[in-house]
Every structure is written in C-alpha cells, then in structure tokens.
Structure 1
C-alpha cells in the first residue's frame, strides 16, 4: 500500500495528497505534518519507511469538504485520490493485492465547484496572464459557472485588471515570474500565483486548443484575439484539464473584453473606494454590501461584476438603466418578480457540477425548479412595452417544458445529496425499477418479521437483527442474555462474534434472506444510477440553453434589485452621454448615508448633508481645501462612487445627475478614514 502511495505522490508533488482508505482520507509523511498543523488535527504514526516513523493524519470522508475548505483558504492545493475498485475486486487478483487508486482531481483555489467551498454571491476566478509580441493578454474563467472571458492589456494596466477580477488563482509562466518590472503588479497576489512552464503559454497551441474546445476552425466569430490572449486562454484550459484529470466542465465560448470597454480603476483607487470590500478586507461597509438587494446567487455575482467593471459605452449603460426604470416604475411587477426570484436555485453552479460528473439529484432538482420558474416569470413580465434588455432576457429563457416535465416525473420530493445513496427516483417513473424496489423493501419487512420470530424462539425480548458493512445482517443480544441463548449444535442460532457488551449470531435462514436483500438492493441501485445518468445526459445536452436562461434570470434579478434600492433610498436615474459634463445636484455618499440611517448612535448622526459638484469642458478642475477630518475624502469619494454606480447601470444617490462617460478613475484616502464608521 505504501509503495502505491509513494508512486501516486511522486506524480502529484505540488499539493497535499488526500489518499482514500475506506471511510477516511489519509495523509502521510510531510503532507501529514503540514495538514495536521493547518487543520489542528491529531498527528499520529503508521509504520516505518527507511527506518523512520511515517507521520500520518486523516479526515473522515463524510466531512472532508469542511477540511478541504480550510486548506484551500490557506492557499494549499489538494490532490484527491479515490479508490477505483472495491476490496472484493482487489482480492480476486490475489490475497495481497492493493485496491486500485487514482487521483480524480486536484483542487486549487481557482478550480472550486462545490457550494460548500464557495461564496454563493462571489465569483471564483481562475486567471491566466501571458505576454506575446510585446503585449499582454488576460484570460479568466469561473469554473463553477463556465463563464470564460479574455482581454488585451498593456503592461501598465495589468495591476488594475487583476484588482478588478480579484481572482482566486493566477497562472503565469516561470519566465514572467522572474521579471522585476512586474514585481509591483504581482506583489498583492503572491498567495494566488501559480507558476507554470513557459511552454504551456504557447499561442499557437492555445489557438488550436480553443478551436478544439469549441469545435470551430477559427475563433474569429468570438473576437479578434491577440497572440497574448490566445496564450493565456490556452494555458488556462490546459491547467483546468490537468487539475480535473481530463474532465472539463461546461465552458461557454470566450467573450472578449476590448480595451477601454470598462472604466479603468487602478488597484489603489479600487481599494480606497471600498467597492466590494473595506480597507479591512470586510464585505460589510463596502459599496456592494449596501446596494445588494439581489435574491439569487447568480444575481449577486453579476452585481459584484458590474460594480467592479463600470461600462464606458453610454448606449449599453442606458440599456441597463432602462431595465432598472421599468421595475422602478411598476411596484407590482417588481414585487411579483421578487416572489419568484426568491425561489430560484443556483442553476449555473448546479449545471457546472453535473457536467463535471460531480453533481447529484439535488442539482437536477435545482435546474428543474429554476427552469420551471422561467415560465412563471415570463407570464409576470410580458406586457405591450418592455425595454430591450428585458425582452432579450425573456427570449433567452427559451422553452424547457419537456425537460422540466421529465425531471418532475422522475425525481422524489426529498432527495439525497449523492446519487450513490439511492432513493431519488419517484415511484411510477420506471416500472422495472419499481418492481426491484418493491422486492427490496419487502425483504426488509421480512427482516422485521424474522426478528419477532427469533425473539419468541430465544425468549429474549431485547434480541435485535442489525446490519453493518463487515458482517452484513446479524442477530445481537446483550452479554448477560448470551448464557440463555440457544446456540448449541442442534439449535438454529450460530455464534459469529463476541463483543465486550454483546454477542452476535446468525442463522441459515437469515443468511439466505440477506443474499436476496443484497441482490435486490444492488440491482435496484444499479438501475437507479442508470436512470440518474440518463437524466444528467438529457439535462447537460441542453447545457447552453440552460446557461442562457440562468444568465437571463441573473440580469433580471440585478435590475429588479437596483430598482428596489432606488425606491428605498430615493435614488435618481442619471443621464449618461458622451459629453465632458460632470453635473451632480444634491449628491450623497451612499455608504455614509446608509451608516447614519442604520446607527443613530454614531457621532454626528442624522441626515446626510447633500452637496453639488459641477464640472464641464470650460471648468474641468476643482481644488478642494480644508483642515483634516473636514470631509474632503468623503466628498471626493462620494462623487467617484456616484460615477461608478451610474456607469454600472444603477440609479444614484442625488437629486439629479448629468454625466459624460468617465473612462478612468483615481481617488485618494485620508490617513484616518473609515467612512462607514
């Protein structure tokens, strides 16, 4: 066994190895020392290797995701090694044969898909940065949703782009890692950097890999990608395939974010404005925390993406604002929509898990519920005049009635987490399965009847028939009743095992019945798993259409949430154009205003004092002076935040705003500023 472990560890040297042994994942040698310290679990020993004790620790399989989460948050990579056959199969090859094991995936900070390891309202991006022909290219993917994007960059914009994405993991070449001129850009991301050989960033191979992935002969339909973007995209897909052992998730065709398509906000300004987290790294007190009224996980992620990347195209901004205004103007429609959105599960992530063969019956149910709700939402929203954005969303819902009906007929109301647990196919869906299930359940009722029979035969009221994975079914009585148990050569009870407080027996009749139960249960589970695979195949065959519907639900959620915010907080619709105007009347700092309203005990609590800011072509500069703590930073950032809100497509805290599109934003922070407090 240890020889097998060492071979697998040699092939997976970069992470901790979770080595499956029955109901535990075990770690050995240096991995055990590291994991025991990181997880605060007991470090033990198991045998010797080259004369030295072998360090060992382990975590139970049923709770391993909690331990994985803690390790990933500390920056570790974990290779998960599973048993690929059961011990009985191994014994057929010889008494000393070792159960076959294989690494089924390598979990890294950027390749998470499980809900238990992710924040429902936060994207988890895996990013790759490459350089070719003197320019840079960035590719990023959220594996839990399949969203893939690429962007050309100049060297000076690398830091700003990484700050915008806040990726869980960044792939760079070993050659790039050694460049001193990029040290400042990479400094905040040292814990997220994963260095790969430069050969993985070959642009020609990247182009071919992307073409093969999306089954096209050219990527021209997706965008005019640069060599650097192709290098980054190819390296990213290569890494995903490597860590997932060839099992790729559903990945949408790449979208290209052209240079200048979003407002450029450098890392320092982004941090100072506290867009998605405060200077202390907390979500509470950030701009995102006070505007987020989304009701779905996908909507929350989309809102965070919008706030991180305000647009610079006035037409697209106004299209988003039109959607918000529709819900702002119609309270009843907004309330009805909210009622449906509250019931929408995370379809995107459920779909990703199913395509990775990592899902379960509950993921199928999530997709069924979400798709069924699109029909209700369409009925709720259909009217004579709808903004283009809402019309597009309703079109993107598609028609999924047949799939919804199939999943509704197939699945039980209460579902297990894993398909291997069985018990999820509804009665009446598959007659052949119903027949086997009935036989299995009838056999279990016979066990109960047999127990009553043996209680009478032995005259022992606390006699029980129990089951475990080692002995199967057995009869158990307490140690003090064992003396009166009729277990002689002529009796039906056959001794099997003596425990400290109990003695176990069997009978020929019980053994025969156990064989029938095991056979019926095994056959029933096998058919149930076949049915599950068929349902997954039917669902993933419509992956692109389902993903489109999920995206539409997220867009509607964001628009409705921003409309509710605008009504609650008295925000106005900004007027966005391509002029040089910057005219804000009665502007208010959204975070400070909310903090004052929620905590009347704050010093100076009360209504926020609104103020104006007026810049235009003939008056492009204001010089603001005053003593420390006079509010200069508050005013400066107030106007910056209004700009961000306006260009992400939100109403803003002001009486009126007329704004020419801002392409770049800078802001300082006062030495003692903590504006939310």
Structure 2
C-alpha cells in the first residue's frame, strides 16, 4: 500500500476513522479471511500474541506497522489479549466486496465495529470456563447510598443489591467479577481497590448511570410498565442497573443479551466473607491458581455446567436463611437415601447441555446449530429425568424442580423434526436441517446432490414421449443442458405435435439439438440448487431460533431445575463416598463438631493412602479456643477445617464429620498464613495488622474468626502484647466465636482470666530426640514449640541444628533465672565460629550382614536366589535356617 506524501488510501482512511471512534481498544479490522491491525495496535498485539510484525505501505512518511490473525482462529487470540488486559473492537465487513466494486474501483467495502470484546462481556464457549460465572459488575452511588449490580451475559443472570463502600470489596471478591463499571466521578475512589481484586476497571460517563432514563430503558427491555413487579429498588440500585445496560448496548452494538429480570439480594442474606478470608481458605480457587486444591475442586461432583456454577455460587455465598439452608439439605438428604435413584439421574444429567449459555449465544446471534441440538438433547433428557422422579415423595426443592422439567413437548417435537443428529458448528455451512422437514429444501438438495439422476429421468421420459430411444440430454458451457438426436429422428421432433414442446436450438453436421421449457427451468434450478438450499436452511434457522427465544423464560427455569437436581445428586454422591454427615443448623451460637476433617487435605491424603486424624471442636461454653502447639502439628489445618465446615453447612451440603451442630455464622474471618504487599509498600507484618484490624472492627457476635500467629512479624514482646490485646478484644467487644492459634505460650494464662476462653493444644511425642506429630487436638497447653526439631525435618544442616540447641538451652536457662540473667547469657554466649566443634563421631564398622547386602543387586535375583539369600542372612545373625 503506497500513499502520496501526507495522504492515505481510502481503506486506510476508513481504518483511521473507525480507530478514532474506538481509541481505547485494539481494532480487529476485517480484510477477507484475516483480522488486521495497524500502527500502535499492531505493535502491541504482535508483542502480546507473539506473532510476526510486518509493514504495509507508509503514512506521513513512516512505515505502517501491521500484523494479523486468521478469522477462523480469532477466538484463541482474543482470549490471550483479554487475559493480558486488552479490550478489542471487532470491525466486520458489512457488505459483499462485489457490491463495493459496483460503486467504482476506488470504493471501499463498508466496515464498522459490530462488537467490543471486554473481560466482562465474553459469550463464546471457547473464551469461557463452562463451570464458572463471568460477571460484569457496576457500582453506583446516589446521595451517599451505594449499590452494586452484576450480570453474567453468557447466562443472562442479573442481580442487584444495596452496597456500602465498605462492603464493595468483599462483594466483588464473592462474585469474582472480571470487569467493574464505575462512573467517572467516583473512579478515583475505587479503581485501586477493584484492580487489587483482579478485575478490570471501566469508567463510564455519569449519564450512563442516570437512574431516571435508566429506569425507562429497563422497563423497555423487560416490556413492563414498572419495575415494581420485580421488587422495590432504590435509586442507587436502578442507577447501577442502568450502568450495566448502557455498557451492554455500547459493547454489543444494540444486540442486547437475553437478560433475566433483576433479582434483588439482601445485604445479610449470605455469610459475609472478605477477600483475604476467601484467599486464605481457598474457597473457589487455590492460592496457586485454578480449582485444584480449593474447596470447590474437592467437593465438585456435578456433571453439568449449570450445576457446577450453582455450586460455586453456594460456596461463595453460604446462606444465612435457615429455611433455605434446610430446603437444600433436604434435597441432598433425599438423594443420599435414594442412591438407586440418584445414579440414574446423574447418568441422564450427563446428556444435558449448557442451556443458559446456548440461549445467550443464540440471542446475540453468536450461536449455531449445535446450540440448538444441545437444547434439543437437553429437553429430551429432561423428559427422561422427569420420568425418573415421577410419583416419588420429594422434598420441596426437588419437587419444584421436577415440575419445571415438563411442558416443552411442542418445542422438543419441532427440534427433533427439524435438526439432524449431529449438526455442523455454523449455520452458514448448511446441512443441519433434517430430511423431510421442509419440501422445498428437500427438492433443492435433490437437485444439488442428484442432478444427474434427475436429468436421466427426464431423458427417459422424453425418449418414451417421442419414441426415439437414442435421444440424449447433454450439457456444454455454451448451451447448457440440451436434447440431442440424429438428423433422421429430428424431422419427427420438428413436426407437430412434438414441435409444440421441443424447441429447436442448434443443428450440427450430424446432430440436431432441442430444448424445452421444463428443461430450461430444471437447468436453472440445478445451477441454483446449492445456493437455494442454503438460503432455505438460513430461513429455517432463523425460524427455529425465534421459536427457542420465545420460550427463553421457561427454558431458563428448566436450566435452573436441572442444575438444582445435579447439585443435590453431586453433593449426595460426595457424602456417601466420604461418609459425611448432615449438620444441624439453627439460630443458636453453637459450634460443635465431632470428628471433623479438612475436606481438601483429606482428599489429598486419601490419594496417597494415608489416614486423616479427625478432631472435635466445641465452642459452646467457651466460644474462644486458644490453640498452642508446634509448627507442622496441624494447627492451621484444624483452624481451616472448622471454617470450611461452617461454609459447607450453610451452603446446604453435608460436612466432613461424624456429627456437627452449627449456629448461623453471619461473618467468617480468617487470618492464616503470611504474605506481603510490596507493590503498596506493605510488609508481611503490616498486611497482618491491616487484616486483623478489619476483623476487630467488623466482627459481630455471630461471626466465626480464625486467627493464626498474630504478632509474629515483630519483636517478641511487641507481638505477644498485640496478640494478647487482640484476644481480649474478641472476647470482650466482638463477643464472637473464635479459634486463636499462637506460639506465645504465655497467653494460656488468659483461660484463667476470661470466662469464654479455653486452652487447647495439638499433641506431639518426642522419641529419641525427634518429634512425632500426632495431629490430635486436646484440652490443655503446649509447653514448648519444638522449632529446632521441625528445623531438622526441614533439612537444615546438622551443624546449624546442634548450634540452635546450644543457644536454645542457654536462653531458656537465662529465662528461668529471670532479671538480667537472660541478657548476661546472650552476652556470654560464644559466637558460632568460636563455639566448640561437636565431638567427632567414630565411624561404625559395617556388620557382615551390611557388607553382604552391599554386594547384592536385587534386580538380578531370581525368586530362588532371593530365598537363599534370606536363609544366608539369617544364619549370619545367629539364626537357624529353615
């Protein structure tokens, strides 16, 4: 592409115009089978995608950088760019290039952006994790009142809640929002916090959040005169919903996704869990990233994408509503008791597609015949599942779900009649409509696929009609199809009555050629049959799509019902396989677990064939337990397992214990593990103090708090004093239930001073200088931390271990003597280099047995040789062979 100095080609002028309208996005500019990028976009994309950077002509005397990706592989490249923080504008060709040529040689194919691809607006199957939601959120404030709205456009789920600035972080952490919309007026106040949670920040003009115009637009979308039918929404909530809708109209270019009516969530309906606690407990994602090693990964036995997403929502937001928890428990209990029903249900559920996401893609015109086939198969499976549940005494949740499985007979019959068993991915490929569904399509296909046999049949008919057996129908590029006969027979065809039907076209030296009106029409049909068949299929596709979208609301209810059944069956399967129990959940302050286990650690140990040591926890009479014991003994595991049991119980699941009684936990806080935040100038100790402050300032009397090693990041007495004061505050001010693990044994004295504190310890045994971890939690206190023994297990050099023992014994002696003795011991302690070396160890001469074994190569021993060797070794140690 060359340009005059200072000028641009028409195509590049078009590109620059579109780019100017989308300055914050990489522009994918469609050119035939490629999306091309130019200038700075090309440089950034080439680096991010690791593809070749080339050039195409000049602009203002400079080379134009260029790179491109194939259209058929674009989704993979889009995913990479989105994960690296880019937004992408897709500019498609809006007309056939042939149309542009008709306007003149210099005319450019019309192009425009048809969609903006951002982290929160993904819908393609290949860009999403089928088992996780992909939320786009919007936060708005109106007269000091805040509200948070969120939507997963791949499923249409839309929710909103009143949300203070303090609650925004925990709620976004619960949702795992990928992108958050903020008005430009408040962007500076929240952008850093949103970014820290891993979400992209997108500012919008204040007009996008206008509640008055937003309310009108919402009413238009849901075709209602008022939003009151969906609930009573505050101005802030309507403002947040308005921001979402405005952004969807911007990014989807007018093609709104299939949104469900907004659901208003209560601020106290779910257990409050902040971001730090979610990371610490690894609820839905492990610290290393991904599901493996998380609670979700350990308990997920669902077989459908919808069921998996429902489980993630339940674990992310355990309910605080007793009736809802008990309904969910009852559904799981029914499947635990009816194993012979649960297994066939799970098998039938395996054939269910992702109904919500298929509907969303169809609504946005990004779906295809396979989405329709998936819905057809799901409807058929729903009928089978309804049959399995029919006539059974089911708990309310499952009974409601069973009712929503039926009533789709007409749509199922239509889809079964219209679609082939295994349709292609794209409608433009054709071949997805079943034979016999449409007569016009069947005829077009017959002509397309069987043109020769149709012509042969017509030839036979003309031969019979004329009585000329040698008559042929032939084809060439000049005449097309024609009837050919010899000159002798032609005279018959040129005379009435045959001349009325057969039209003379050409005479050659030995042959005469004719045509008929029917043959000309057939020729046109054959030549256009392929295109006509495709056009008919496209029309039928649009008709089927419309029929499915007309049933979207009921299909969404079907998807919800199938997910509910799947989740109940999955949790029941887990409970049976792992011997979990149904917990008692009530409105008390009880927290009593007998034989509790950590679900993730137990799963890992089970794979290794090792047992998990179960432990009790009773926070009834003494709601705060002070836990002491050495590192590696299992304190952190014990703390976390009880927190996870509370989460599972209020999610409606069974729990890993012999029995459990959990009074509703309103808030869950965890300060376990060490981390720093160097990017914001926070040391490990500072992060610890910030998280501890959040707990002490927010925990109410129904909270459950687990704290591990508070105060360890500073000097001993500073740390002890902070830990001491923290425990007193939890007892006297927060008055919550808590498990407090510490190495400060001095704190055990608080059990005698505070009525609600009880001491507990993790038992260990010493054997020949080594420490053996029993992993048993008992009442009482630890008298030491066994740090040196743990250091030996970690592999520190023997010289360091021995030196540490000497220093430890000296310091402990000084501590017992009190006063200035400790200082004197430190002053008198010789340095490592000056310390006497350890006594040399005399080499032990190997025994005859050991010497003999050194000579043995086990891989070369036959069974007879091995047996003979055993007898030989027994004789060497004084035994009698045989």
TM range (shorter): 0.7 to 0.9
- Show the counterpart of 2:417: 409
Whether 2:274 is the aligned partner of 1:266: answer: yes
Contact 1:344/1:369 (8 A) holds in 2: yes
SS in 2 for 1:258: coil
- Show the counterpart of 1:94: 104
- Show the counterpart of 2:385: 377
Whether 2:630 is the aligned partner of 1:631: answer: no
Whether 2:623 is the aligned partner of 1:620: answer: yes
Whether 2:187 is the aligned partner of 1:177: answer: yes
CA offsets, 1:121-168, max 9 Å, x none?
Answer: 010001111111212111110011000011111221111001100011
- Show the counterpart of 1:50: 60
Q: Take 1:367 and 1:357, find their aligned partners in 2: how far apart are those partners?
A: 16
Contact 1:444/1:517 (8 A) holds in 2: no
Q: Take 1:445 and 1:159, find their aligned partners in 2: how far apart are those partners?
A: 71
Q: Take 1:350 and 1:191, find their aligned partners in 2: how far apart are those partners?
A: 25
Give 1:285 shift: 0.5
Q: Take 1:244 and 1:100, find their aligned partners in 2: how far apart are those partners?
A: 19
- Show the counterpart of 2:578: 569
- Show the counterpart of 2:87: 77
Contact 1:133/1:227 (8 A) holds in 2: no
Contact 2:280/2:673 (8 A) holds in 1: no
CA offsets, 1:465-522, max 9 Å, x none?
Answer: xxxxxxxxxxxxxxxxxxxxxxxxxxxxxxxxxxxxxxxxxxxxxxx99987552211
Moved more, 168-177 or 530-539: 168-177
Q: Which runs of 5+ in 1 are unaligned?
A: 448-511, 601-605
Q: Take 2:43 and 2:523, find their aligned partners in 1: how far apart are those partners?
A: 44
TM-score if structure 2 supplies the norm length? 0.66
Contact 1:276/1:308 (8 A) holds in 2: yes
Q: Take 1:191 and 1:659, find their aligned partners in 2: how far apart are those partners?
A: 34
Q: Take 1:183 and 1:77, find their aligned partners in 2: how far apart are those partners?
A: 17
Superposed counterparts of 1:329-344, under 5 Å:
329-344=337-352
Contact 2:137/2:180 (8 A) holds in 1: yes
Whether 2:555 is the aligned partner of 1:552: answer: no
Contact 2:191/2:201 (8 A) holds in 1: no
Q: Which runs of 5+ in 2 are unaligned?
A: 1-10, 456-520, 676-707, 709-882
Contact 2:132/2:309 (8 A) holds in 1: yes
CA offsets, 1:575-612, max 9 Å, x none?
Answer: 11111111111111111111111124xxxxx2111111
- Show the counterpart of 1:323: 331
Give 1:383 shift: 2.9
CA offsets, 1:394-417, max 9 Å, x none?
Answer: 122241111111111111122111
Superposed counterparts of 1:512-527, under 5 Å:
519-527=528-536
Whether 2:655 is the aligned partner of 1:658: answer: no
Q: Take 2:454 and 2:41, find their aligned partners in 1: how far apart are those partners?
A: 49
Q: Take 1:290 and 1:237, find their aligned partners in 2: how far apart are those partners?
A: 36
Whether 2:14 is the aligned partner of 1:4: answer: yes
The one of 287, 299, 314 equivalent to 1:291 is 299
- Show the counterpart of 1:116: 126
Q: Take 1:282 and 1:214, find their aligned partners in 2: how far apart are those partners?
A: 36
Moved more, 342-351 or 519-528: 519-528
CA offsets, 1:169-199, max 9 Å, x none?
Answer: 11112221212xx466334146511111222
Cα distance, 1:232–1:36 mapped onto 2, change above 3 Å = same
- Show the counterpart of 1:303: 311
The one of 145, 151, 155 equivalent to 1:135 is 145
TM-score if structure 1 supplies the norm length? 0.86
- Show the counterpart of 2:509: none
- Show the counterpart of 1:459: none
Q: Take 1:247 and 1:241, find their aligned partners in 2: how far apart are those partners?
A: 7
The one of 634, 640, 645 equivalent to 2:643 is 640
Whether 2:215 is the aligned partner of 1:211: answer: no
- Show the counterpart of 2:395: 387
> What is the RMSD computed on CA atoms of the aligned residues?
1.9
Q: Take 2:400 and 2:341, find their aligned partners in 1: how far apart are those partners?
A: 17
Q: Take 1:259 and 1:6, find their aligned partners in 2: how far apart are those partners?
A: 47
Give 1:207 shift: 2.1
